[in-house]
Amino acid sequence: MELKRLQKDANWQERLENIGFGYHTDEQNKTYWVEDYYFSLTEKEADSIFEASNQLWEMCINAVEHVIQNNRLDEFKIPKFIQPYLIDSWENDTPSIYGRFDFAFDQHKQLKLLEFNADTPTSLFECGVVQWLWMENYFGDTKDQFNAVHDKLIDTWKMLKPYLKGDILHFTCVRESLEDLTNVEYLRDCAIQAGITTKLIYIDDIGWNNVNFVDLEEEPITDIFKLYPWEWMVNEMFAYNIKNDEIKANWIEPAWKMILSNKAILAVLWELYPNHPLLLESYFEQPHQLKDYVKKPLLSREGANIEVYKNDQLVEHSTGEYGEEGFIYQALAELHQEETGYSIIGSWIIGQESCGITIRESDQIITTDKSRFVPHIIE
């Protein structure tokens, strides 16, 4: 994995906005999208990410089964009232479409799992569309990319279509986020290309008629993709209606993803697969013998409330509102580092198979919502 530079187009912002990418630069005029350098990967490196992601997905599925069979949901601080619904969603194979592993990739080219964004991962549009068109703009068809995200999304929606309960698949997110709306509309567009009838509804417009959930036209909601975390939903009155819903709508991602999107899964994976080369030592409640480690809240998003320790001394931390549910302690990984910053690899699982990567870069060790998206090619 090697960083390379190129001369960026003068009109690159206009080019990106013409394809619907409206958040390439933030409100402080800092660019989120990196246009003028990229990572060059070898085919061997791409293959190793593909194989590692598929292997970890199988390990995660086994871990979910272990957590449910051994009644460990309390360790994940999942509220009691939703646990039977979560277990039903697992036993009934409620449809799931995607997730994103975040990997460290050290100087020895060893991948290490940092966490699994299993419920509401973003940067999907940037990965599936923007970086693909970036490659075509600068390299034509002379280069390749580890990126079958777009085709895999359409194929997976086609595969899931027979398992939907109704004729309309709703999509929802918060109304205040352009990034979330763009990602939802991208997923929705892929569902439409798969032959599914869809509707968009903002999360706060979803209604309840004392029998089932309804949209603004009072049509029942039978299947709904949500870009809204389960850990937020279960803390709202809204959630009590989910288990009372007579239609038993399919919520995608399903409730069992609450296990995989919780940092507690990292400690469980280490218990089940100790010393596995793809895993970092991880523990509940204390760092044990670790001297260089990261303290992560069980529930946190976009790098909030992370503490990094070296030789037992706090060297970096981020702020936020998480941590009430407890923490896990994970061995500090060696991140890929260039003069431009620290990088991690986000590896997409769609339809239960590895299919593409997102690379994020930060000025510090902790990856946050301000971290940059760096495109890649294989050569």
pLDDT digits (tens, 9 = 90+) for 329-377: 999 999 999 999 999 999 999 999 999 999 999 999 998 888 999 999 9
User: Does residue 289 contact residue 253 with C-beta atoms inside 8 Å?
Assistant: no
- What sign does the dihedral 229-129-97-351 (CA atoms) show? negative
Number of neighbouring beta carbons within 10 Å of residue 205 = 12
CB atoms within 10 A of CB 14: 9
pLDDT at residue 3, as a whole number: 96
Which tens digits make up the pLDDT trace of 261-284?
Answer: 999 999 999 999 999 999 999 999
Task: Please report, in angstroms and rounded to a whole number, the separation of the first and last CA atoms in the chain.
Answer: 10
The DSSP symbol for 109 reads -
pLDDT in tens, 29-86: 999 999 999 999 999 999 999 999 999 999 999 999 999 999 999 999 999 999 999 9
DSSP string, 157-214: HHHHGGG-SSSEEEEE--SS-HHHHHHHHHHHHHHHHTT-EEEE--GGG-EE-SSSEE
3-state secondary structure of 246: coil
Residue range 16-38: mean pLDDT, rounded: 94
Joined together, the tokens standing for residue 186 give 């991208």
